[in-house]
Structure 1
Amino acid sequence: MKITLVEDEPMVAKRLHRFILEVVQDKASITTFNNLDDAQDHLAATTTDVLFLDLNLHGKDGFSLLHEHLAEPYHTIVVSANTDRALDAFELGVLDFIGKPFTKERVEAALQRYFDASFKGQCKRLSYKKHDKLHFVSLDDIQYIQASGHYSEITTKSDVVILHDKHLDKLMQLLPDIFMRVHRSYAVSLNEIESVSQKSGAKYFAHLKSGSTIPVGRTKFEALMAALQR
């Protein structure tokens, strides 16, 4: 397990480093940075599993790193005294937000969310921001989700398209198994599929109850058919 820690206060970084090691013991290697520039270079050059991120780093805003790395597969745990920004952080898809000052127990609880795969699929709705307000869409109201660059477009049963700040890869880590990745750019609710067709050139499509049609990848077709027959 590779952990990247970004914190500009030496004593806080040392304390957090110690707590993480006490929790994960020999299961992790930790790389620490005290500024955003070095952290960004590191994240671009290597892989990490969990990023612990302060939001105020020598006057620079840690949110800039979150925005630039929305599509990355690692999970982010924010550690900050600016608890008023927790809502914005969760909207960007962070795994947890730890307020300062913090305890070992709080750090352990945040890491447990990473280790405990059972948190996947527990959400009942997705949050998204529109006109500076936080809104929610029920998972039961979602037809399919399409990747759109670093973001995702959620299409509801009423054909309303919602832009979500989180990449499809990250959304799939949260969604229950009723949502299936059927194409590199599409995930769909199995409950919304009415039929599946094959056309010339080994092209597959899922036809939804709403009348919409989405592509199905050739490598996903057999798994989709098996899931629909369960």
Structure 2
Amino acid sequence: MNILIIEDESRIAKRIERMTRDFFANTLLSLHHVEALSDALEFIKNNSLDIVLLDLNLNGENGFDILSSAVSESFHTIIISANSDQAISAFEYGVIDFVPKPFNRERIEQAFNRVLLKEKTESHKVKLLAIKKRSRIQLIPIEDVLFIKGAGMYTELFLTNGKKELHDKSLEKLEQLLPHTFERIHKSYIVKMSEVKEVIVKPGSKYIAELKNGEFLPIGRTKYKNLKARWL
């Protein structure tokens, strides 16, 4: 695990660091701490990360100024903040968990386990998917996504306007963040259930999802029963 802590209070940062080291033990490859947003953006740009732990109030700087950039990356973001009233907004951006201050070891470990055990977020309130577009970040409303295809370590978002966009998160990571309106139907595909027109059974126990836009997506054999039950 490569982890970055973005926290301006030294005492709290050291506490988070101690709990992180205790939890990950021998699986922790690197743990870095920065206090300012500019340093955080620079570090994220130049380093491979698995988890970012982000405070939302950094010496008067707003953590949301980095959030859209952070959630467009391949890693998961965990918010650790006293600003509990901003939890809903943070989940809408696509964070994996929001840990309110003051926190204890159990709550921090719960957030880490959510990442490791690939659990879905409790709120499922993600409304935006952030993607990198050259020198800027583009926020795509979740309602504009028809289906998602795995592309190695990345994913391809297929949108209602016919366009396709590349996301840095893997299919597994996006599956954790997406609302229940989306379903994993295949090892390489997640689809918005409202877009499924018909479930087709072909000879040889092959299953196909026909979408309303005319697309045909494969359905894994182990996924067929659950998908058919939901679709009906």
Shorter-chain-normalised TM-score: which range?
Answer: 0.5 to 0.7
SS in 2 for 1:207: strand
Q: Report matched runs for 1:207-226 at 5 Å.
A: 207-208=210-211, 211-214=212-215, 224=218, 226=220
- Listed one character per residue, the Cα deviations across residues 123-182 of structure 1 (whole Å, up to 9, x for unaligned) are 7964538xxxxxxxxxxxxxxx9x99542442699xxx7xxxxx6955433457943479
Specify every segment of 5 or more residues in structure 1 that has no aligned partner in the other structure, as ranges.
130-144, 162-166, 197-204
Question: 2:175 aligns to what?
Answer: 172
Q: How does 1:50-69 map to 2 (within 5 A)?
A: 50-69=51-70
TM-score scaled by length of structure 2: 0.64
- Give, in whole Å, the separation in 2 of the partners of 1:113 and 1:229: 26
Q: How far apart are residue 58 of structure 1 and its match? A: 1.7
SS at match of 2:19: helix
Distance 1:30 1:47 in 2: 12
Q: TM-score normalised to the size of structure 1?
A: 0.65
CA distance in 2, matches of 1:123, 1:8: 27
- Cα shift at 1:102: 1.6
Closer/same/farther in 2, CA of residues 179 and 14 from structure 1, 3 Å limit = same
3-state SS of paired residue (1:12): helix
* Counterpart Cα distance in 1 of 2:209 and 2:168: 18
> Structure 1 residues 104 and 32, CA, compared in 2 at 3 Å: closer, same or farther?
same
Aligned identity (percent) is 31
1:15 maps to which residue? Answer: 15
Pairwise CA distance, 1:24 = 1.4
Following superposition, the deviation at residue 9 of structure 1 comes to 0.9
Whole-angstrom CA distance in 2 between matches of 1:63 and 1:15 = 23
1:229–1:27 distance in 2 versus 1, CA, 3 Å:
closer
In structure 2, runs of 5+ residues without a counterpart are: 147-159, 161-166, 201-207, 226-232
Alpha carbons of structure 1 residues 24 and 226: separation in structure 2 relative to 1, 3 Å: closer
Query: Which residue is 2:140 aligned to?
Result: 151
Output the aligned Cα RMSD. Answer: 3.8
Count of residues in Structure 1 that have an aligned counterpart in Structure 2 = 186
Q: Deviations over 1:92-112 (max 9, x none)?
A: 111111122221121111111
CA distance in 1, matches of 2:68, 2:183: 29
